């Protein structure tokens, strides 16, 4: 009987220069890597160490634009801002419609203006509905990968390897595939699936 084992690649992320490793246990996961910058991710309740010493962690006001999760969050925020602008325009139109009619007015002009206003209100309502659907899709996409929308960073640089203790968000599952060959030889392949919802993009050469 011949046994073989294959490991599915972990989620790749930016900001890694040298070899990194991932060790997962039932209650927590240890991720060790050489950081290119202070950005960590969008995780919660992290413990970060450099050469065994604790590194202070704080929130970032600006998320690095080149980071994959930052790009996802920026897309969500852009859609939310656009939808808020559309809703504001709808309110302005509603206020215009509710204004009292002048004592003297051109009936034809008023009818034409009312028609244009109604058409614009309908267009904005359709656009707002479309944006809400897009926002829900992108928000769910981000939430599946990160527990919150606040980016974290180390407040001090680490010239050595950074060790991050992740309390939750990374889940492993395995399954086996058997291939019966000639001469009663069986090749068994173990597949490891990794679900990463920690808020940290992980690239590990060893797991």
Taking 70 as the threshold, does the pLDDT of residue 10 lie above it?
no
Task: State which residues form the domain around 28.
Answer: 2-60+150-196
What's the token pair of residue 99?
Answer: 């204004």
User: Are residue 82 and residue 110 in the same domain, yes or no?
Assistant: yes
pLDDT on residue 16: 37
pLDDT on residue 187: 87
- Left, alpha or beta for 194 (phi > 0: left; psi -120 to 50: alpha)? beta
Q: How far apart are CA 117 and CA 67, in angstroms?
A: 43
Q: How far apart are CA 200 and CA 152, in angstroms?
A: 10
Quote the radius of gyration of the chain (alpha carbons, Å).
27
Taking 60 as the threshold, does the pLDDT of residue 14 lie above it?
no
For tokens 């011949």, what's the residue? Answer: 2
Residue 101 banded pLDDT, cuts 50, 70, 90: low
Residue 104 banded pLDDT, cuts 50, 70, 90: low
User: Is position 54 within any domain?
Assistant: yes
Q: How far apart are CA 114 and CA 51, in angstroms?
A: 70
Domain count of the chain? Answer: 2
pLDDT on residue 9: 35
User: Are residue 97 and residue 41 in the same domain, yes or no?
Assistant: no
Helix (H, G, I), strand (E, B), or coil: what is residue 152? strand
User: Is position 206 within any domain?
Assistant: no
Strand order in the sheet with 47-50: 21-24, 29-33, 162-166, 47-50, 53-54
User: Are residue 137 and residue 157 in the same domain, yes or no?
Assistant: no
User: Are residue 31 and residue 53 in the same domain, yes or no?
Assistant: yes
User: Is position 122 within any domain?
Assistant: yes
């Amino acid at each position: 009987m011949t046994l073989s084992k294959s490991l599915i690649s972990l989620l790749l992320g930016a900001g890694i220069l040298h070899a990194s490793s991932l060790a997962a246990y039932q209650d927590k996961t240890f991720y060790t890597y050489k950081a290119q910058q202070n950005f960590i991710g969008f995780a919660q309740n992290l413990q970060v160490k450099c050469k065994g010493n604790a590194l202070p962690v704080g929130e970032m006001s600006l998320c690095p634009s080149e980071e994959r999760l930052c790009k996802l969050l920026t897309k969500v925020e852009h859609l939310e801002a656009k939808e808020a602008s559309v809703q504001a325009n709808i309110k302005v139109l509603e206020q215009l419609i509710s204004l009292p009619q002048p004592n003297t007015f051109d009936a034809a002009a008023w009818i034409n203006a009312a028609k244009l206003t109604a058409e614009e209100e309908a267009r904005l309502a359709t656009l707002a509905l479309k944006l809400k659907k897009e926002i829900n899709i992108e928000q769910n996409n981000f939430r599946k990968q990160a527990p919150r929308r606040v980016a974290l960073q180390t407040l001090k640089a680490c010239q050595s390897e950074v060790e991050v203790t992740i309390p939750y968000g990374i889940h492993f599952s395995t399954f086996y595939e058997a291939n019966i060959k000639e001469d009663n030889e069986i090749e068994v392949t173990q597949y490891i699936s990794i679900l990463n919802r920690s808020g940290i993009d992980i690239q590990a050469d060893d797991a």
